[in-house]
């Protein structure tokens, strides 16, 4: 039994049931009730309150399989409201940023903080962090602290599952024998980077607990699996291999995806075209926001993987662009070209999407000598479009190809039957008392 090193300290802070908590901030009536938040299309359950978990509702469950709880246990449900969660996330990250010199935002509801060099005990400091987010934003959080990111994640898991720690667990504050006990108690599939497939294979090698994996030769793991899992073994031993990517040295995003399931299956290419065009427009807007251009666009369409009595078909095609671009019109053109190639009639399509990749910095843009495209004009048109949409709301101006059919008639539109208001991002929807103050 050897103690984990203490020279480095990384904290993982994350919001408890983040989406649920965001909704409860603005609707306290939801407090103490079983509540679930649904994915796009009201398809799956993506966030559950403690009370909903207690009913045995697992993460990711298709909503229709949980609907009976609405009657039997007054289960409350909401469609997801990403504008709200995104905005609350920004606020949370800002509050947390004040507690460390280095912060890496890892997902909408969690970030790493580098606490190396801080005075022990770190658990007290972590409690302070929790108090602050609760006081400023009414968002409950948990904190896990360890010498590597992987151990910090694991510590966070322990903090969350064991109420006696009141939301904070730190390896450094833990006796070496207790450290070992925890590692022996936790299943290997809880480790960050070990998913379903890997854990099944690890079980075959008699590696069942975190402790087992920690004490396997990383070289052997590298040969049998990959460098990624070997790195995880090092991390579990307190040797930090995954470094902090804070905002300053954040690598640029490498691809932008926009895809969605349809409200109902569609069979006509015209409707697919509308959907694809609107996905391209959204992705291209993101592309311009980060001041990039792209060189490749991938289009994919697919039938439902769950449909029992129809053939599966899920083609995709990647179209190279002669010049890197961020012009929605050119991207839509290319996407249509691809769609025509892969489309086959007679199938019931349930989902489509596009991926922009080979992203480049707009500044390094190279124009093709032989191209007829007037770059400057293209940039101006796109800038104007983005500006109008920013000022007057999304989709004020868009390409005709995204469908001129009146709103609800668009078959491919999402279902979102029960969405809360945009409490923090739209003047017209912020809570009354607050709105009054500003008028």
Residues binding DNA (CB under 7 A): 39-41, 43-44, 46, 60, 62, 64, 67, 106-110, 153, 191-199, 226-228, 251, 253-261, 265, 286, 304, 306, 316, 318, 320, 350-351, 353, 414
- The residue assigned the tokens 């997902």 is 107
The reply to whether omega before 121 is within 30° of 0 (cis) is: yes
Question: Tokens standing for 73?
Answer: 């246990």
User: Are the C-beta atoms of residues 194 and 188 closer than 8 Å to each other?
Assistant: yes
3-state secondary structure of 98: coil
Task: Tell whether the torsion through CA atoms of 208, 213, 219 and 224 is positive or negative.
Answer: positive
Q: Which is nearer to DNA, 38 or 129 (CB)?
A: 38
Question: Tokens standing for 413?
Answer: 């539109």
Q: Which is nearer to DNA, 150 or 430 (CB)?
A: 150
Q: Collect all residues with Cβ–Cβ distance below 8 Å to 122 and sequence separation of at least 6.
A: 9, 11, 115, 145, 170, 172, 173
3-state secondary structure of 60: coil
How far is Cα of residue 207 from the mean position of the Cα atoms in its chain? 30
Angle among Cα 390, 394, 400 to the nearest 5 degrees reads: 115
- The residue assigned the tokens 């959080």 is 141
3-state secondary structure of 239: coil
Other CB atoms within 10 Å distance of the CB of residue 248: 6
Q: Which is nearer to DNA, 97 or 259 (CB)?
A: 259
**Length of the chain in residues, anyone?**
439
Task: Output the smallest distance, CB 303 to DNA, in A.
Answer: 11
Q: Which is nearer to DNA, 104 or 430 (CB)?
A: 104
Among the listed residues 47, 62, 59, the one whose alpha carbon sits nearest the alpha carbon of residue 261: 62
Q: Which is nearer to DNA, 44 or 323 (CB)?
A: 44
Task: Output the smallest distance, CB 438 to DNA, in A.
Answer: 32
User: Are the C-beta atoms of residues 179 and 214 closer than 8 Å to each other?
Assistant: no
Q: Which is nearer to DNA, 245 or 378 (CB)?
A: 245
Per-position DSSP letters for 82-97, written without gaps between them? HHHHHHHHHHHHHHHH
Q: Which is nearer to DNA, 71 or 196 (CB)?
A: 196
Q: Which is nearer to DNA, 74 or 255 (CB)?
A: 255
């Amino acid at each position: 039994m050897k103690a984990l090193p203490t020279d480095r300290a990384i904290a993982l802070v994350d919001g408890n049931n983040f989406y649920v908590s965001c909704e409860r901030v603005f609707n306290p009536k939801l407090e103490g009730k079983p509540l679930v938040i649904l994915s796009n299309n009201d398809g799956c359950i993506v966030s559950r309150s403690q009370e909903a978990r207690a009913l045995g509702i697992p993460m990711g469950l298709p909503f229709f399989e949980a609907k009976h709880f609405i009657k039997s246990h007054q289960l409350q449900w909401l469609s997801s409201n990403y504008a709200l969660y995104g905005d609350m996330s920004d606020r949370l990250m800002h509050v947390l940023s004040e507690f460390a010199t280095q912060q890496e935002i890892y997902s909408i509801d969690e970030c790493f903080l580098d606490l190396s060099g801080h005075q022990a005990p770190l658990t007290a400091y972590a409690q302070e962090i929790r108090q602050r987010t609760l006081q400023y934003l009414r968002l409950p959080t948990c904190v896990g602290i360890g010498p590597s990111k992987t151990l910090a994640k694991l510590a966070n898991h322990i903090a969350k599952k064991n109420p006696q720690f009141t939301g904070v667990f730190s390896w450094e504050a833990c006796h070496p024998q207790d450290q070992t006990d925890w590692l022996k108690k936790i299943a290997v599939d809880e480790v960050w980077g070990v998913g379903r497939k890997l854990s099944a294979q690890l079980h075959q090698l008699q590696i069942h607990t975190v402790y087992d994996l920690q004490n396997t030769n990383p070289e052997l793991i590298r040969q049998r699996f990959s460098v990624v899992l070997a790195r995880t073994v090092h991390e579990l031993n307190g040797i930090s291999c995954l470094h902090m990517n804070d905002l300053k040295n954040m690598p640029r995003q490498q691809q932008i995806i926009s895809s969605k399931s349809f409200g109902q299956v569609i069979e006509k290419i015209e409707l697919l075209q509308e959907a694809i065009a609107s996905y391209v427009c959204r992705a291209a807007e993101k592309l311009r926001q980060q001041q990039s251009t792209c060189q490749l666009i991938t289009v994919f369409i697919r039938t439902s993987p769950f449909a029992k009595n129809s053939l599966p078909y899920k083609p995709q095609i990647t179209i190279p662009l002669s010049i890197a671009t961020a012009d929605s019109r050119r991207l839509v053109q290319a996407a249509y070209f691809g769609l025509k190639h892969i489309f086959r009639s007679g199938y019931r399509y349930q989902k489509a999407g596009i991926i922009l990749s080979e992203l480049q910095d707009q500044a390094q843009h190279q124009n093709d000598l032989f191209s007829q495209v007037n770059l400057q004009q293209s940039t101006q048109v796109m800038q104007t479009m983005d500006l109008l949409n920013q000022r007057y709301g999304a989709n004020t101006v868009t390409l005709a190809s995204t469908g001129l059919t009146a709103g609800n008639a668009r078959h491919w539109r999402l279902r979102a039957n029960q969405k809360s208001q945009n409490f923090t991002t739209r003047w017209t929807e912020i809570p009354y008392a607050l709105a009054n103050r500003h008028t």
